[in-house]
Structure 1
Amino acid sequence: MNIQKLDVFLTLVETKKMTETAQQLKLSAPTVSFHIRSLEKEYGIKLFRTNAGGYRLTPGGEILYHYAKQLSQTNQKLEHALFQFKKGEAGSLQLGASGVPAQLFMPELIHKMAERYPRINVSLDVKTAPEIEQKLVRQELDFGLIMETSSQAKELVYEAFACDELVLAYSKDHPFSKVETVAEVDLSKQRLLVHTLSSSTKHFSKTWLKGRDEEMDLIELDSVSTIIKMLSFGQAVALISKRLIENEDHLAFTELNDNRLKRQIYFVYHQHLWENDAILFFKESVAALKEVIT
């Protein structure tokens, strides 16, 4: 149904005058008459009878007026809702992140979003980087912050956000805290904590460990916070993000000076992402945070 025709019809019902209707809608009287005739032809009924008092509704016109009024009100609500959405006054923002970026950067970004757009519902999905990529490809998420993966999806835009590296972390009570160089680090017989198999941390850890002769007890854990807690007991070491533990007072770490342990964090989104004010604000917040941390 043509909304403009209905607006013309509703206005004529209210004014009862062709000239006044034309003036209100900034149309010519013949254009108003054309729209009314078009509606009558479309529904096969006469909508108005005319007399000295102006345009009066027929019984068929009364039925159309009842439903047209509801449609007009619904259309106004729709336009208002879409306007709010475009301005970031309503709607949702669906974010995704792999483990390390989720802990390091998402809290600040979500806080900024909530401060600027309190009516936007923000959600965060924390999964492995490949899982976040697939959700972005299917456009189930708006943005992602992920560790680099072995390949990049052609449907997505990848923007370098920050660099990270894995370091060998341990308690300040661990014997490694007394060594001065990497050469003095003997991993034989050590209990090594690593993140789960599907995570990028585990992938980089496996790459670094491949071909090494040390006999090590390997413990895989889903939670980075659990790894940090276990390190505090002084009985284990871990390959873990330097950014995650460099401010932990009870921990120390050794940089292994191995490029295989350096990785990139990417800000990722679909190439056909529709942008409103809230979406643009989030992108600007990411860019601002990038300037601070690099």
Structure 2
Amino acid sequence: MREMNLLKFQIVELLDKHRKITAVAEALGLKQPTVTYHMKSLEQEYGVKLFEPRMDKVILTEAGRALLHYAGKINCLASEAKRTVEEYGTPGRGTLRVGASYVPATYMLPRLLKEFAARHPKVTVTLAVKPSAVIKEMLLNHEIDLGVLSAEPFRLPMLDVRELCDDELVLAHAPSHDLAASSELTPGLLCTADFVLHGPHSSTRELTDRWLEQHGVRLEQHLELDSLEAIKQMVIQGGHVTFASGLAIQAEVARGQLLARAIPEFRHRRKISCATNRDRHHSGPLDSMMELLQGWEQIQ
């Protein structure tokens, strides 16, 4: 079996990103001939063309793109191994990479991160806010250590998933909206309302679309906004309604700005869960963050 050279896999990833040997050499602190040597060495090792010059750029061939898939995983694992081992040499220090979907990132994690920082003042935490589907992929690819996401209950072979709490989807509208006069809501009644929809990559939008389709509700007119905060402000004005996370509108409901009502004939469940890759070594900071997540409702 040929010896693996991690530098070569880094070159593959960087070439896909920059498409210029000069940029790859600069990123790695190498000379251009060194990068070119490793590229040729890789092609000789695998006996197939991996790189193709085009004008002033270098692109990956089909075989090169197949290798890229594994190069990314290998690079992430190597980086993770280095970080994990270094933590033993500097007790109390380290980095914890967290990925979260919008609702837990905005309405759950801030107070947890404050508590975590008090317990681990020398640990650096990075937080990536992405859709739930992206968080799952980042976990599988070892790009993050911990994922916190709002989604329908799920199981994946490579992930350890722990459900933390319900993230109920509710109908939100202002107390002044016409629907406030209706004690009982029906799908037919909702189809007369002006909706504000979440962006197409949102799990809330996915569930909203499924409910609309299941009940044959066709929206003649609607707004679509990517920002949940903008959606809430729009609905507070009184002319529109939306489906939203009950957790995300708690403050507005408490202030009397919004009403949260059960969505009629809504059959979907959504949970906030935390997940880790089964192959990820659990460090002290990771276990500490998971402990905080499991008791998050007691943290003020």
TM-score range for the pair, normalised by the shorter chain length: 0.5 to 0.7
Question: Helix, strand or coil for the counterpart of 2:270?
Answer: strand
Shift of 1:84: 5.1
Equivalent position SS for 2:190: coil
Corresponding residue of 1:262: 269
Partner of 1:243: 247
Among the aligned pairs, what percent are the same residue? 25
What are the superposed Cα offsets for residues 199-249 of structure 1, whole Å, 9 maximum, x if unpaired? 110111111111424544232221110100111111110011111113312
Aligned to 1:247, the other structure's residue is in SS state helix
Residue matched to 1:228: 232
Q: May I ask how many residue pairs the two structures share in their alignment?
A: 212
Paired AA for residue 295 in structure 2? A
Cα separation, 1, equivalents of 2:273 and 2:147: 8
Shift of 1:140: 1.0
Q: CA deviation at 1:94?
A: 0.7
Q: Is the 8 A contact 2:142 2:277 kept in 1?
A: yes
* Structure 1 range deviating more: 137-146 or 204-213: 204-213
| Equivalent in the alignment of 1:279 | 286
Give, in whole Å, the separation in 2 of the partners of 1:245 and 1:149: 19
Residue type at the aligned position of 1:146: L
1:209 aligns to what?
Answer: 212
Whether 1:131 aligns to 2:134 is yes
Task: Name the residue aligned to 1:83.
Answer: 88
Q: What is the one-letter code of the residue matched to 2:170?
A: V
Distance (whole Å) between structure 2 residues aligned to residue 91 and residue 266 of structure 1: 24
CA contact (8 A) 2:153 2:269 kept: no
TM norm structure 1: 0.66
Q: Using the alignment, how far apart are the partners of 1:183 and 1:190 within structure 2?
A: 11
Q: Which residue of 1 aligns with 2:182?
A: 179
- Distance in 2 of aligned mates of 1:185 and 1:170: 17
Query: What value does the CA root-mean-square deviation take over the aligned residues?
Result: 2.5
Deviation string, structure 1 residues 2-40 (Cα, Å, up to 9, x no partner): xxxxxxxxxxxxxxxxxxxxxxxxxxxxxxxxxxxxxxx
Aligned letter for 2:296?
A: L
Cα 1:185–1:170 shift into 2, 3 Å: farther
Task: Give the Cα–Cα distance (whole angstroms) in 2 for the partners of residues 201 and 213 of structure 1.
Answer: 17
Looking at structure 2, the residues matched to 159 and 81 of structure 1 have their Cα atoms a distance apart, in angstroms, of 28
Unaligned runs of 5+ in 2: 1-82
Task: Quote the Cα distance in structure 1 between the aligned partners of 2:196 and 2:203.
Answer: 14
Partner residue in 1 for 2:156: 153
Q: How far apart are 1:83 and its partner, in Å?
A: 3.3
Q: Which amino acid aligns with 1:278?
A: P
Match of 2:113 in 1: 110
Report if aligned partners of 1:193, 1:237 keep a CA contact under 8 Å in 2.
yes
Contact 1:189–1:214 at 8 Å: present in 2 too? no
Distance 1:150 1:288 in 2: 20
Partner of 1:112: helix, strand, or coil? helix
Contact 1:192 1:216 in 2 (8 A): no
